[in-house]
Amino acid sequence: MTAVPVVPGCTWHPGYLAPADQTALLATLRDLLRQAPLFQPVMPRTGTPFSVRMTNLGSLGWVSDKAGYRYQPHHPVTGEPWPPIPDAILAVWDAVSGYPHPPEACLVNWYGPGARMGLHQDRDEEDLSAPVVSLSLGETGLFRIGGTTRGGRTVPVKLASGDVLVFGGIARLAYHGVDRLLPGTSTLLKDGGRINLTLRRVTKPV
């Protein structure tokens, strides 16, 4: 498996999932999205909508609404528990995380044309000793990651369909975001766009 160092603590595995595995995973995700539909997160306080839509898999899911950012065990619209994380996704965590406990949350971000994600830290998790593992499907996203202070130098990574990115250790609280998609770079999603899955351990194992 190719492992490309990006910044200390962050490793990129281009083409981790073969095309057939991407297609199979997409079919699994489409089923799960029927149980846990995409919802429209909004920014705390201001209520400004995110440009991505989201849902989650796992015992805990990340949500953002006017009240704030948090993890919760149920879908904010249906009130149902999130569906379990499928084995094919857990296998990626087991192979690349180097962390001996399973992830609790798989955040599903759906980027339509024009969607982006501003630079931010993933810091709503109690257990920061586990890395964040990200898996991309569909059109290439222009991702970048820097250090732990806002405004520092960032390193760009073109995250293509099937790529896996791991950030942990001293990169666990690194600022990162997605500037834009590169339209036409994948035929996996018929209408274009991009799906990013991020796997996180939330609570400290007992």
Ligand X SMILES: O=C(O)CCC(=O)C(=O)O
Binding site for ligand X (CB under 6 A): 107, 109, 117, 122, 134, 141, 143, 159, 176, 178, 196, 198
56 is in an annotated binding site: no
Closest distance of CB 174 from Fe ion, Å:
9
Concatenated DSSP letters of 155-189: EEEEE-TT-EEEE-GGGTT--EEEEEEETTS-SSS
125 binds Fe ion (CB under 5 A): no
Look at residue 172 and give the partner it binds from Fe ion, ligand X, none, a contact being a CB closer than 5 to 8 Å depending on partner kind.
Answer: none
> Does the annotation place 30 within a ligand binding site?
no
Find how far residue 191's CA is from the centre of its chain. 20
Q: Choose from ligand X, Fe ion, none: what does 61 bind? Cβ within 5-8 Å by kind.
A: none
Q: Is residue 139 within the footprint of Fe ion (CB under 5 A)?
A: no
Residue number with CB closer to ligand X (75 or 176): 176
Distance of CA 104 to the CA centre of its chain: 13
Cβ 57 to ligand X, closest distance in Å? Answer: 13
Q: Which residues of 131-145 are buried (b: 16+ CB within 10 A; e: fewer)?
A: bbbbbbbbbbbebbb
Quick count: other Cβ atoms within 10 Å of Cβ 183? 12
CA-CA-CA-CA dihedral for 179, 180, 185, 186, to nearest 10: 100
Minimal distance, residue 122 CB to ligand X, in Å? 5
Beta carbons of 160 and 187 less than 8 angstroms apart = no
- Binding segment for Fe ion (CB under 5 A), chosen from 16-24, 102-110, 117-125, 137-145, is 117-125
- 85 with 189: CB under 8 angstroms? no
Say which entry of ligand X, Fe ion, none residue 109 contacts (CB below 5 to 8 A, set by partner kind). ligand X
The answer to the question of whether 150 is labelled as a binding residue is yes
139 binds, among ligand X, Fe ion, none (CB under 5 to 8 A by kind): none
Least separation in angstroms between residue 173's CB and ligand X is 12
| Residue whose beta carbon is closest to Fe ion | 122
The helix or strand, by DSSP H or E, that contains position 88, with its residue range, turns out to be helix 87-96
Distance of closest approach, residue 54 Cβ to ligand X, in angstroms: 8
Classify each residue of 61-82 as buried b or exposed e, where b means 16 or more C-beta atoms within 10 Å of its C-beta: bbbbeeeeeebeeebbeeeeeb
16 has binding-site annotation: no
Residue placing its CB nearer to ligand X in the complex, 13 or 176: 176
